[in-house]
Chain A
Amino acid sequence: MRRGVGLTLLAAALSVVVSSCGSGVIDKSTDGVPPAEATGTLRVLLPSFPPSAKGKAEFQKVVDDFHKAYPKMKVEPDFATYKNLNEKMSTAIAAGIPYDVMVTGVGWVQPFASKNIFEDLGKYGVTPDYIREKSTPALIPAVTYDKKLYAYPLIADARAVALRKSAFREAGLDPDKPPASLDEIKVAAEKLTKRDKDGNITRSGFDLASATGFRQSFTTFLASTGTPLYVGGEPNFDNQKGLDTLLWIKSMINNVQPYGQTNAAQQPLVLTGEAAMGIVNGGVDCSAEGIGQKNCDDLKFFRFNSGKEIEYVGGDLASIGSRSRHKDAAWAFIQSLTKPATLDALAKLNKKVPAYKDASNSPQAKSNPLSQFVADGLVYAVNENEVPSNWLEMRGNFDIQLTQAVLGQKDPAKVLHNLAGQSR
């Protein structure tokens, strides 16, 4: 009897401990409550603001703007990185305290929308026409799942190709006629590659920007042949063009660039002079604090074109959590987040371009030649396109298996076939 009571007490204590871990942080719903009277905490997960003093100051401006409509609501930011984004989202869901606003990237929306983790933004008036009118049309496929829109673009992460004019001249190449097709790039890169007496590469001919995996570079090179990675969620790479692209990457690695090459600052190697040509992201600091005007003047930008002129464009995309108890407030917060001044600040902080209609005339585009070039090229935007709902899993699969093919551990044709089979 006594033992039974003891066990019951222990069980009760346990349940109290367990339940107390999960309660007390869930607010009452504020949807339908007048904004001025809404109370609670809006949890925001975003990799867009660096957790520096500058980043936090810019974020506070968004909060201040949001508080004009929702003065009683507290905003709790979680300044994530793209590396730990999924970890944060999954643990928040498992803990029963999901985020109200989540900023993710291209390739995230479809998997999360298919799991009902993101809210359909159609009810807030977000339609393809609305994005075409106000934002970057190139990102519409990235925010669409099952013909519904689940995110709103904040900034576009556009990539171009850069060459060093001095290196071109030194190698007897004309910097005013940059190579554009994969074949031309390979020929030029081989001429531009410098080696020491032992044959070790001392300056790469072309930086594929693939130190952590070949997924994005494969997507980019393949798209330049006019072949999107996925069409309507179906794989479009298990074909001759896909194989040619993968074999091209294989022929470049350890030929014009050592595998895994990167620098401590994680800067594009062509900007630091460690490569004569290579992929660059959407901005360059030409001031003395950056790479300096002399280096900037030595750069020329161009786009891949193996049949189709393209520019790889990722981006930061804001969504509302489907389990949020503050969906109206979350949408209001996204509206504060997408004000032009905020997008300009975000673009500057991240060396990306604002995803509003006239990005070419944005302060960021005017601030440096690379941002201007990629902003002008948003009409050529490509990315993974309409990815399948298991894309989160496929991202890792692509990185691992393409590397195995490039390093000669697996047959490239079999790798592509396998990846196509795994996409669902």
Chain B
Amino acid sequence: MSTTLERPTLATPRKVSPSKDGRTLLRSQARAGWALLAPALLHSGVFIVIPVIAVLVLSLTDYSFGDTWAWVGFGNYADLFRDVDFLASLWHTVLYAIVVIPISMAISLAVAIGLNQKIRGLGFFRTAFYIPTVTATVAVATIWLWIYNPGSGLANGFLSLFGFAPNRWLADPATALPSLMVVGIWQGLGTKIIIYLAALQGVSRDLVESAELDGAGRWQRFVNVTWPAIGPVQFFVLITSIVGTFQVFDLVYVMTQGGPGSETRVLVMDIYQNAFQDLKLGYASAETVIMMIVIALFIGVGRLLQKADAND
């Protein structure tokens, strides 16, 4: 048996010119709209648009807080691509994002699915998973510094139970960045879990039950019903995660200061170092512009993946 559904034809609405009263109403609504938008626009103008323009202009200068400065055109950008510290920082940041984003999203989704079930102690688990998010990064980093302490830390203590030799987690070039990634993944779970949980609770029960009646198993229900339904939320989580991981700074600043050597130096750390320690504000501005472009590229790739997923 087959059923053919005819696409309903919609009548094109006739353009009706509003009456004088209607026009007045529209104008007053527009005014109210602008009035409500004004604080946000003012905030965006002062704290986003002006600084962005300032960064773009500064990136073309050699300004270093002194009395004199000069236009250098794209000289800073050319120098950046010969700067091994910048290239190392860019690579570490991209690597950090590539590892932390998918792992933290996968764990968060899995935990959110678990928390969406009717289990005992649900409130406790939800709170426990959200605590790292509301804890100051400096406090989190300090605790993890102790965990990673080569002499008396929890990590080595735990591994020693299984006969493993102590590791110098943050002092060893091979393990420093992965150690930071673990903290980054752990710290970012809370927010993602809450967002996923909200999305999961918004998945239509009717659709899930229909699929169940049609004989779909748990995995089929997840792939064909839940996954498409939380698609927009996935995209939101992806975008915020990209921006968040590219802006990682406080964790690195407190735990390793970018070391050993430059093994954990990330982009924002390098920008901070160039701007506020080396006083090369023009150079740091060019680096900031590059960072904005890289974030935009990552978001673009995320969008493409999202579209491809939606088309499937």
Contacts and interface: CB of A to CB of B under 8 A. Distances in A.
Interface of A: 6, 10, 13-14, 17-18, 86-87, 89-91, 93-94, 111, 114-117, 198, 200, 212-213, 258-260, 322, 390, 392-393, 395-397, 399-401, 403-404, 407, 409
Given A258-B168, A400-B262, A392 B46 contact: no
A396 B277 contact: yes
Contacts of B165: 198
B278 interface: yes
Nearest to A3: B34
A17 B46 contact: yes
Contact of A86 (B34, B45, B276): B276
Contact of A396 (B42, B45, B168, B278): B278
Contacts of A18: 46, 50
A400 B171 CA distance: 13
Contact of B42 (A13, A392, A397): A13
Nearest to B272: A87
Contacts of A213: 259
Looking at B45, B262, B265, B279, the one whose CB has the most chain A CB atoms below 10 A away is: B279
Q: Pick from B66, B165, B278 the residue with the most CB of A within 10 Å.
A: B278
B260 A115 contact: no
B236 interface: no
Contacts of A90: 65, 275-276, 279, 281
Contacts of B281: 90, 94
B260 A403 contact: yes
Given A116-B66, A260-B168, A407-B260, A87 B276 contact: yes
6 contacts: A90-B65, A90-B275, A90-B281, A115-B65, A212-B257, A396-B277
B173 interface: yes
A320 B297 CA distance: 46
B302 interface: no
B280 interface: yes
A401 B261 CA distance: 6
Given A87-B277, A396-B273, A404-B261, A94 B42 contact: no
Interface in B82-122: 85
Interface string B254-287: 0001111110010000000101111111000000
B67 interface: yes
Given A86-B279, A392-B278, A403-B259, A93 B65 contact: yes
Given A13-B42, A17-B46, A393 B259 contact: no
Nearest to A84: B276
A13 B43 CA distance: 12
Contact of A115 (B66, B150, B170, B275): B66
B133 interface: no
Nearest to A211: B171
B257 to A, nearest CB: 7
B65 A259 contact: no
A13 B41 CA distance: 12
B166 interface: yes
Interface string B190-222: 000000000000000000000000000000000
A167 to B, nearest CB: 20
A402 to B, nearest CB: 9
A357 B50 CA distance: 52
A312 B65 CA distance: 30
A393 B166 contact: no
Given A115-B65, A115-B66, A91 B276 contact: yes
